[in-house]
Amino acid sequence: MLTVALPKGELLKNSIRLFQSVGLDFSAFLDSGTRQLQILDASGQAKGLLVRGQDVPVYVEYGQAQLGIIGYDVLREKKPQVAHLVDLQFGYCRMSVAVKASSAYKSPLDLPPHGRVASKYVNCAREYFHSLDLPIEIVPLSGSVELGPITGMSEAIVDIVSTGRTLRENGLIEITTLYESTARLIGHPLSYRLNTGNMHQFVEKMRQEAALTAV
């Protein structure tokens, strides 16, 4: 049987809608009355696992799920050994460097050598500043990174920007974008080769759905 890993949070509703469009119904995960983390889809063809976004590639790498949906940002940060199957065209956001709006930094190159940058995406941040040949100290955080510059702990942050509201309401501005991100369908490479749970037909349908969205 096919098992899919679905991400909690921002991407969940669209992920469930996409699976519904290919005949797999995991909408029970949206039912606030349940705390179940594993469910069978309504047609009995597949099992759904509800996991944190960062953990989706872990279940797919270990082969506990043959398919998963995750943001490109997580793929860039974690570099998991999974097959990148489809750009799903939803969940748009970007990875940016931001600073206090009142600061004098207009570009990342204005940041002081050995200055501090707070981030949940330490690998992306490190790679980016390395590519600029700018030595900085990464301060790893797991959330509310905007507080880094606000409290004076760091000069800048590297973080996801979606609507831009969090930056705005905390007096921060973007000074550059590292890359743009959308939701991606990933697969367990061996299962994909073996077409476990008839996964090719679902992947193909999702590819068609995504192409329609892109138009």
Between 52 and 200, CB nearer to ligand PRP: 52
Residue 72 CB, shortest distance to ligand PRP, in Å, is 15
List the strands of the sheet with 2-7, edge to edge: 38-40, 46-51, 2-7, 67-71, 183-187, 83-87
Q: How far is the CB of 175 from ligand PRP (least distance, A)?
A: 15
Count CB neighbours of 133 within 10 A.
7
Least distance in angstroms from the C-beta of 171 to ligand PRP: 13
- If the CB atoms of residues 58 and 147 are measured against ligand PRP, the closer one turns out to be 147
Task: Please identify, using beta-carbon distances, which residue of 3 and 181 lies nearer to ligand PRP.
Answer: 181
The residue at minimum Cβ distance from ligand PRP is 143
* Alpha carbons 67 and 60: distance in angstroms, whole number: 6
The residue (of 108 and 148) whose beta carbon lies closer to ligand PRP is 148
Q: What residue ranges in 56-102 does DSSP mark as E strands?
A: 67-71, 83-87, 93-100
Tell me which residue of 209, 117, 98 sits closest to 162, measured CA to CA. Answer: 98
Question: Shortest gap between Cβ of 161 and ligand PRP (angstroms)?
Answer: 5
Query: Could you list the residues that contact ligand PRP (CB under 6 A)?
Result: 143-144, 159-166
